[in-house]
Amino acid sequence: MKLLSKYTWVSLSVSLVIFIIGGFIYFEAISYLSDQQLDRDLTEEYAEKVSFIDQHQRFPKPFEFDSYEAEFKNIGQASEPTHFVDTIITAHSGNKTISCRAIIGTVRFKGTNYLMTITESKEAARTLIQLVSAITLILIVLLFLALFVTNRLVFKRIWQPFYILLEHLKDFSLTGDAKQPVGTSTKIDEFTELNHAIELMEEKARDEYQSLRSFTENASHEMMTPVAIINSKLDNLIQDESLSNTQLGQLEDIYSASRRLSQLNQSLLLLVKIDNGLMHDVAEIDLSTCLKNKIKQFEDILQSKKITVNLNCLPKKIKASIYLIDILLSNLISNAIRHNLKGGEIAIMLDERILSIENTGSGGALDTHKIFERFQKHPASEGTGLGLTIARNICLSYGFKLEYQFAPPYHRFYVLF
């Protein structure tokens, strides 16, 4: 749930609860004040009737007090304190009941106590309460709508700099052009501070990235020179006929280690370029043609290991770096050859959705959690342990997905487009 929706929901929910509780209290308060006013009027009327009885020595007739109805009931010598009650009476037409407020008290007349009940209709007060309640309800609804519109429109406009900064962060790239965050024109201090913090963060990140990139490229370049010198000197030494077999064996070990060091250096540099999107030679590639050409490059090795290749390719075009796709295919096919059995099989299938490379192999399934990690390889392997890592990173850079499956005796690596 978005922040604006969450805030609006909480704000309206709290407001609704407050309105309901406040409306109930407001209605009860009006009803209470109305009853108090009726009680004061009834008290005055009660006093006037008692005074009338004392003065005229008779009960008042109905027409003498038009607004109130009074009843007298002989209770002998009994007595009842004056009190107020809510009651209901039937209208003269007999088909309607009327809600009333009554005062009940004892009045003494000619030595006998009478229970006097004075009743006044509450209909006028009720009508007033209903009118006030209706007006209040309308005001609450209007206020509720105004609050909703305010939250949706005003707060959305207030939060607009935040969403602009958020989109800017989504588009941020260490390798892209530097863009200044938008939103500095806002008058809200928090967003101004956030914008300033993003500027500092991006500047620092780019400086550190450039430093790391320069170090990596320089280190890689500087390493190539001594490695090339070592290989050149080893080539000259190996051609020396005065060396013994033992010395030649040691030189070959050194030459192999030097070659692996060179491969490792190139692989690490390639990973840095892939991870940072520094390969820009993107073009439309026919993957089926690339596969067929790559199989031809490995023909000699395939024949020496007597490996049969079953190739089933449909036309498939993608937009990617020719150099990276060549490395991807080389790593996957060489991996299938290196870990294959002598006289084994390789099955390659390509269609619009998937590229699958299967090879026969000894042993069980590989650990799917580790095979794509750096420097994860079989102890007997002569590789750098970066081939599958590079293949996976190439796939990720283009939105592909590299997966592994094992169905004895086939190890299968497949790319989902």
Q: What is the pLDDT along the chain (417 residues), one digit of tens a residue?
A: 666 677 777 777 887 888 788 878 878 888 888 888 888 888 888 888 888 888 888 888 765 555 566 888 888 888 888 888 888 877 666 577 777 888 888 888 888 888 888 888 777 777 777 787 788 788 888 887 887 787 777 777 777 888 888 888 888 777 665 555 554 567 777 888 888 888 888 888 888 877 777 776 666 666 677 777 777 877 777 777 777 778 777 877 787 777 777 766 666 666 666 766 666 678 898 999 999 998 998 898 889 999 999 999 898 998 888 888 888 898 899 889 988 888 899 999 999 999 999 999 877 788 777 777 765 655 445 555 677 888 888 888 888 999 998 888 889 999 998
Distances (CA, A) of 187 to 160, 184, 191, 197, 404: 12, 8, 8, 16, 54
Residues 413, 404 contacting (CB under 8 angstroms): yes
User: 146-181 burial string, b = 16+ CB within 10 Å, else e?
Assistant: ebeeebeeeeeeebebbebbeebeeebeeeeeeeeb
Q: All domains of the chain, ordered by start, with CATH?
A: 3-154 (no CATH), 173-277 (1.20.58), 282-416 (3.30.565.10)
H or E stretch at 172: none
- Name every residue whose Cβ is closer than 8 Å to that of residue 103 and which is 6 or more positions away in sequence: 39, 42, 43, 45, 46, 82, 83, 84, 117, 118
Q: Which SS3 state, helix, strand or coil, does residue 413 take?
A: strand
- pLDDT of amino acid 275: 66
pLDDT at residue 16 in the model: 80
Per the omega criterion (within 30 degrees of 0), is the bond before 409 cis? yes
Confidence (pLDDT) at 345 = 92
**324, 279 in Cβ contact below 8 A?**
yes
At 351, give phi and psi (nearest 5°).
Answer: -140, -165
Tell the residue number behind the tokens 């099989």, with chain if given.
345
Distances (CA, A) of 88 to 28, 33, 95, 101, 339: 20, 20, 13, 8, 99
Give the amino acid at 148: F
The pLDDT assigned to 348 comes to 92
Contact of 42 with 102, CB cutoff 8 Å: yes
Q: What's at 416, amino acid-wise?
A: L
The structure tokens listed for 151 are: 């939250």
